[in-house]
Structure 1
Amino acid sequence: MDIHFRQANQNDAAAIWTILQHAILRRKNDGSTQWQDGYPNPEIINNDILKGAGYVLVQDQTIIGYTAVYFNYEPAYENIQGKWLTNNDFVVVHRIAIGESQIGKGFAKLILKYVEQVALEENIYSIKADTNYDNLPMLRIFESLGYQYCGEVFFRGSPRKAFEKILKP
Structure 2
Amino acid sequence: MKSAGITQWNDSYPSKEIIWQDIIKKELRLYGDHYEASVTVSKHERTIFIQRLVVHSQHQRSGIARFILTDIIRQEKVNSEVDQLKISTNHSNIPVQKLLTSLNFIPCRKYLIPNREQFGDFIEFIYPLRIFK
TM-score (norm 1): 0.68
Confirm whether residue 127 of structure 1 aligns to residue 92 of structure 2: no
The aligned amino acid for 2:60 is I
The aligned amino acid for 1:153 is Y
Which residue does 2:2 correspond to in 1? 28
What does the per-residue CA deviation read over 1:63-100, in whole Å, with 9 as the maximum and x for residues that have no partner? Answer: 11100001017xxxxxxxxxxxxxxx110100111122
Confirm whether residue 44 of structure 1 aligns to residue 31 of structure 2: no
Cα 1:63–1:141 change in 2 (3 A) is same
What does the per-residue CA deviation read over 1:45-71, in whole Å, with 9 as the maximum and x for residues that have no partner? Answer: 11001011101112xx32111000010
Per mean C-alpha deviation after superposition, the further-off stretch among 156-165 and 104-113 is 156-165
Which residue does 1:138 correspond to in 2? 96
Matched residue count: 126
Which residue does 1:156 correspond to in 2? 114
Among 63, 66, 70, the residue aligned to 2:35: 63
Confirm whether residue 102 of structure 1 aligns to residue 64 of structure 2: no
Q: Give the % identical residues.
A: 24
1:155 to partner: Cα distance: 1.9
- Distance, in Å, in 1 between the alignment partners of 2:69 and 2:5 is 25
What does the per-residue CA deviation read over 1:107-166, in whole Å, with 9 as the maximum and x for residues that have no partner? Answer: 101111111133234322311111000001111111110011101233234331111011
TM-score (norm 2): 0.85
The aligned amino acid for 1:108 is A
Which residue does 1:12 correspond to in 2? none
- Distance, in Å, in 2 between the alignment partners of 1:33 and 1:102 is 20
Confirm whether residue 72 of structure 1 aligns to residue 29 of structure 2: no
Structure with the higher fraction of residues in helix conformation: 1
Contact 2:83 2:129 (C-alpha < 8 Å) held by counterparts:
yes
Confirm whether residue 112 of structure 1 aligns to residue 74 of structure 2: no
Contact 2:84 2:130 (C-alpha < 8 Å) held by counterparts:
no
1:37 to partner: Cα distance: 5.3
Contact 2:89 2:122 (C-alpha < 8 Å) held by counterparts:
yes
Q: Which runs of 5+ in 1 are unaligned?
A: 1-26, 74-88
Per mean C-alpha deviation after superposition, the further-off stretch among 93-102 and 111-120 is 111-120
